[in-house]
Amino acid sequence: MSQFEISGIGKIPPRFINIDPASFINADELATSLELTPLAPEKFHVTLLHQSVGGLKQLTKLFKKYSKGKGKLEDPCVYPSTTLPEIDTEGAEVIVVDDQNPKTGEERRTVRIVLRDELQQVLEAWVSQFCELNGLERDEVEMQRVYHISYANRTGNPSDSVR
């Protein structure tokens, strides 16, 4: 399933995301006004599963071997019968979120493009079923995930965005 990738996190990669011009302009103007650095477009993604999800680390190892043609010849993931939706940001909301890095205590600020409610519901259902099929356990934070694209943060590095 090429629309879903595992690379430490479970995500929809940039080649499957269409950012609506209005969302792009709103996010860019907000990032500029806050003096935040936009992420490179090839770094845009929608995180479906954070690296903290129980069992994802092991699944990531198997998926890497599969992707490189090593080990098992079959994809180690079991996918829901429904497909992931097409990701576009039409009707999305652009917001700013702040928190503290739990490891360093450093303040973080991120401009996000939050996907519309219809996509939130479809993605939540897909992720829930994917986790069930693959024996993955989401914590309370992951159960409340709001699906979004991080557009900008202080450094432009995706790993510096608010979780």
* pTM: predicted TM-score of the whole model, two decimal places: 0.90
The pLDDT score that the predictor gives to residue 2 is 65
Q: What is the mean pLDDT of each run of 10 residues along the chain (163 residues)?
A: 84 95 96 97 95 91 83 82 93 94 86 97 97 95 94 91 81
C-beta neighbour count of 116 within 10 angstroms? 14
* Phi, psi (rounded to 5 degrees) for 94: -100, 125
> Is-contact 10 57, C-beta < 8 A?
no
Structure tokens at 34: 């806050």
The pLDDT score that the predictor gives to residue 104 is 85
The pLDDT score that the predictor gives to residue 145 is 94
Name the DSSP letter for residue 54.
Answer: B
> Is-contact 153 37, C-beta < 8 A?
yes
> Is-contact 106 100, C-beta < 8 A?
yes
The pLDDT score that the predictor gives to residue 1 is 47
Strand partners, 100: 107
**CA-based nearest residue to 59, from 46, 45, 72, 42:** 72
Name the DSSP letter for residue 38.
Answer: E
